[in-house]
Structure 1
Amino acid sequence: MEVDQQSQEVHPFEEIVPQSQPLIGQIPNISGGYSYPISDLDSLLRFLCLGVNDRVYRANTQHTEFCRANVKFIDRLIQDGRGSEVIKCIRDVSIQGRAYKHDTTLYALAICARSNNLETKQSAYEILNDVCRIPTHLFQFVNYCEELSEITSGWGRAHRMGISNWYNSFKSEDPQNHKSAKKLAYLVTKYKRRHGWTHRDAVRLAHVHPKTTDIRLIIEYIFGKSITVNNTPNQASISEFLDAARRAKRCNDVEEIRSLIANYHLSRNIYLLILK
């Protein structure tokens, strides 16, 4: 009912649209009703945050398997020359922690990395270090890239350089210890295998060439080689940490393992089974 402001008379609507009919601008939805369409960029944001392509998030469903056919809006955005917007959206959602799980951002990033658009592809690998902050993310990204490659191996020049840059992005000195070589040593010992991938697989296939001696020490540890150390304090610290990780791995004495974890700040996750 409407009220005429001048005459204060109440009169019915001139046209009443039944629920079985769409309003102007509405389109059919998957529920059998009608809803307003959203842009491809909004669809991307919804996918990154909820992991689905509809309006409903189901907490009792594991949204871990994605299909390329369900994210066609990413391909449309790239084809329309809006790849930079896709990359920015992926990075913002990842850094701000807006996604329910990190799987969606990694899958979308893998699609961009496998794009035929050179600019989008380069931009995808430029933000790889921002999105893949731990080896678990890196290995899952690699896994998605191989799935999307289908026929080819997926280890082209751009992909190899992207993975190599991830390992070499850890600097010898970092006051906050977020991207230091010592931090990489910790990550390598904590996340040894994820999603069927190991550091040895990634380093071997990416042909990683260490840019610093600190990274070289960690690569030698990954391949089980004897670590050669110079007399710099930073290298000595990394060598002691990796040596402690090896000793703890082979040790059966619970008290000694506890001592190594406490003294060298080793990850407890690696030796959980031994401690039990």
Structure 2
Amino acid sequence: MATEDASLADFKQLLVTGSNHVAWSGDHLVRFLVDWYQRNEREHHSNQRPPSTGDRTPKLSAACPTECLLNSTAIIPKLISEGKADIIIDTLRAYGQLPYVDKEALVLCLAVASKQSDQKKLVTDAHSAVRELCTSTHLFFLFIQISKMISKKSGHSGWGRGLRRAVNEWYLSWEPQRLALEVTRHSGAHGWTHRDVIRLAHLKLKDMPLGTQVVLHYVFLGLEKTVKEYTGKDNTSELLALMQILDKDGHPKDGENTWDIDQVISKVSKLQEVFGNLTLDDVPSQSLKSAEVWSHMLDKLEGESAVASVNRMSKANLLNTGTENNALSVKLGERLKHEDISGGCVTPTQVLMALHAYEHPTRFVGESGVRRAGKSPRLAAKIQVRRSTKVNSQVTDALRLLIATSAKSIPKTSQKLAVCVDVRASMGTAHVHTGNPEGKGEVSCYEGAAVTLLSLSSGGTNPDVSALAFSGEGLVELQVPEGATISNMLEKFKETVIGVVNVEAALKMAVEKKMETVVILSIKFEPNTIATITETLTKVNETNNTHIRLVLCGLAGKHMDAQRTENFLLALGFDHRTPTIIRAFHERLF
């Protein structure tokens, strides 16, 4: 990347990684700060003390989250000062189409761009891009929440004409049936509901198409009044029938909103007929304890929901071996082997996380407060309790196979890449530092390295990816046959004569074989070692007139600061985006 494009490179890094730090560690800064801001506001209105932010963030003032958000996107004003305002929205639109982008970081940048009041064209373009880039209720309400945070800091309400127009266009951009699905699937997010947003944006239903009117009328007044208002009007009968199926409250019974099994099954069938697929968000959570419901909808779930269903079914005790529901385990195993899942958007790392959450289940249980003499009760604490659940071999075998088949479906990169693995025994005993909410710490560094290698090599089908190991005999090749599984790779790691990690040797090999990127997978790297390595990288590139990129991936590493160096990425820990971030860096997307 040329020096004069450093600002644009930093901007792209923020879009891909969600962070402007040299070391990427999988943190969701945007989500954390927005959640903290909302909790702080609730506590402020209740005249209670500000919420604790945990060990990883210092005590914050009420304005601090907004400051952090603005500091993380200071690159946007910098681009404007360099005369590059015109490329900001174009870059957001281009990166919004990529599978590598952090959607929340993209929406953050869009919101910040929309608040550059001295750049009228940029603000107009940003508001026009909302309907294109905010592709779900979650992202749309995130945009509104960040806009509110920024406006509040400057003393404004945030509901100017441009934002009201953006909200209007967002609702109009949905086909009525899809809008009906969206407002019933996700009624709110980030403290906002559709009713709040429509009211504050002063949307005029009478000026909207009839189908959109029907859906937004339902948002405000519910199903019964909407059916009464629009029955008999032109072309509304089909939409009203669909909304009766989608209605999130179900049929009232004895004063409560409940769902019976037949109603849920009817909803599942209708969703499949109209939209072609189904997610777990489309089904009432209380019905997910029914084997009959699961049996009816398993073959209709899209890929990510099918993988997530493993742990949802496990928590409902529907996968235990030897029970009457064992047939359900067989059906789930067959579903996970279907080609529409392995060839879809499911990644090997997502499947690995689901597998470990299933094999090592945990849940959090709140304890009752304990009253102490003369003192107030202790706050209820959340403790981690392990559930004793036998895993079903049919399900685990299907998940392991899915890791291999989903890796093969990852598009091949056209640039040469070397993946060098530390195969010392400590990699097999150390656990990765991960953001996985369930089964945390169960993934070994060996497994993290194996799934990263399979992902980057497209399941052994990419001839431009070389797999190597640091051996006592130097760098030796690791054969990754097409369709290789994690078990295959773990055996290869264990069979290799161990040796120390030698980054200089890896860079020398990259020069000889004209590699574009070198990835080093190890347990962790010390700060002083990283400084030496980056100096070596710079020297190698200057000496050989090359632009080799280096990724140090410390699978068990935690937060660490490093000096920004051209062509260098430090990835700490391991989560479902680790191979994606490495691949994006390799393909020069930041």
Which letter does structure 2 place at the counterpart of 1:263?
Answer: K
For residues 225-255 of structure 1, the C-alpha deviation after alignment (integer angstroms, 9 at most, x for no partner) is 512134444x222111112233626333223
Cα distance change, pair 153–83 in 1 and its aligned pair in 2 (3 A):
same
For residue 20 of structure 2, the aligned residue among 38, 43, 53 is 53
Task: Show the 5 A alignment for 1:170-185.
Answer: 170=174, 180-185=175-180
Q: Which has the larger strand fraction? A: 2
Q: Give the C-alpha shift of residue 164 in structure 1.
A: 0.8
1:153 corresponds to 2:120? no
In structure 2, what is the Cα distance between the partners aligned to 1:271 and 1:224? 22
Counting matched residue pairs gives 229
Which letter does structure 2 place at the counterpart of 1:127?
Answer: A
Q: Secondary structure at the match of 1:224?
A: helix
Which letter does structure 2 place at the counterpart of 1:214?
Answer: G
2:185 matched residue in structure 1: 190
CA contact under 8 A between 1:190 and 1:267: conserved in structure 2?
A: no
CA contact under 8 A between 1:217 and 1:229: conserved in structure 2?
A: no
2:269 matched residue in structure 1: 262
In structure 2, what is the Cα distance between the partners aligned to 1:154 and 1:238? 34
In structure 1, what is the Cα distance between the partners aligned to 2:270 and 2:238? 12
For residues 7-43 of structure 1, the C-alpha deviation after alignment (integer angstroms, 9 at most, x for no partner) is xxxxxxxxxxxxxxxxxxxxxxxxxxxxx78621111
CA contact under 8 A between 1:261 and 1:267: conserved in structure 2?
A: no
TM-score (norm 2): 0.37
Task: Show the 5 A alignment for 1:70-219.
Answer: 70-99=72-101, 101-116=102-117, 117-149=119-151, 150=153, 151-170=155-174, 180-210=175-205, 211-219=208-216
Which letter does structure 1 place at the counterpart of 2:242?
Answer: F
1:274 corresponds to 2:286? yes
In structure 1, what is the Cα distance between the partners aligned to 2:170 and 2:73? 27
Q: Secondary structure at the match of 2:23?
A: coil
Cα distance change, pair 70–268 in 1 and its aligned pair in 2 (3 A):
closer
In structure 2, what is the Cα distance between the partners aligned to 1:239 and 1:255? 20
In structure 1, what is the Cα distance between the partners aligned to 2:267 and 2:100? 37
In structure 1, what is the Cα distance between the partners aligned to 2:78 and 2:232? 53
1:222 matched residue in structure 2: 219
1:17 matched residue in structure 2: none
Q: Give the C-alpha shift of residue 262 in structure 1.
A: 1.8
In structure 2, what is the Cα distance between the partners aligned to 1:270 and 1:254? 14
Q: Give the C-alpha shift of residue 271 in structure 1.
A: 3.9
In structure 1, what is the Cα distance between the partners aligned to 2:104 and 2:89? 15
1:15 matched residue in structure 2: none
In structure 2, what is the Cα distance between the partners aligned to 1:164 and 1:229? 25
Q: Give the C-alpha shift of residue 209 in structure 1.
A: 2.2
CA contact under 8 A between 1:185 and 1:218: conserved in structure 2?
A: yes
Which letter does structure 2 place at the counterpart of 1:253?
Answer: D
Identity of aligned residues (%): 21
CA contact under 8 A between 2:11 and 2:75: conserved in structure 1?
A: yes
Which letter does structure 1 place at the counterpart of 2:7?
Answer: D
In structure 2, what is the Cα distance between the partners aligned to 1:38 and 1:119? 22
In structure 2, what is the Cα distance between the partners aligned to 1:81 and 1:236? 53
Q: Give the C-alpha shift of residue 267 in structure 1.
A: 6.1
Q: Give the C-alpha shift of residue 264 in structure 1.
A: 4.7
1:239 corresponds to 2:251? no
Q: Secondary structure at the match of 2:150?
A: helix
Q: Secondary structure at the match of 1:153?
A: coil
Q: Secondary structure at the match of 2:281?
A: coil
Q: Give the C-alpha shift of residue 138 in structure 1.
A: 0.4
Q: Secondary structure at the match of 2:19?
A: coil
Which letter does structure 1 place at the counterpart of 2:189?
Answer: R
Which letter does structure 2 place at the counterpart of 1:83?
Answer: A
Which letter does structure 2 place at the counterpart of 1:213?
Answer: L
1:41 matched residue in structure 2: 8
Q: Give the C-alpha shift of residue 268 in structure 1.
A: 4.4
In structure 2, what is the Cα distance between the partners aligned to 1:73 and 1:136? 24
* Unmatched tracts of structure 2, length 5 or more: 34-67, 252-256, 273-277, 290-590
Which letter does structure 2 place at the counterpart of 1:69?
Answer: N
Q: Give the C-alpha shift of residue 158 in structure 1.
A: 0.8
Q: Give the C-alpha shift of residue 109 in structure 1.
A: 0.2
Cα distance change, pair 156–212 in 1 and its aligned pair in 2 (3 A):
same
Task: Show the 5 A alignment for 1:2-41.
Answer: 39-41=6-8
In structure 2, what is the Cα distance between the partners aligned to 1:97 and 1:256? 36
Which letter does structure 1 place at the counterpart of 2:78?
Answer: R
TM-score (norm 1): 0.76
* Unmatched tracts of structure 1, length 5 or more: 1-35, 171-179
Q: Give the C-alpha shift of residue 272 in structure 1.
A: 3.2
In structure 1, what is the Cα distance between the partners aligned to 2:105 and 2:163? 19
Cα distance change, pair 183–130 in 1 and its aligned pair in 2 (3 A):
same
Q: Give the C-alpha shift of residue 256 in structure 1.
A: 2.3
Which letter does structure 2 place at the counterpart of 1:169?
Answer: S
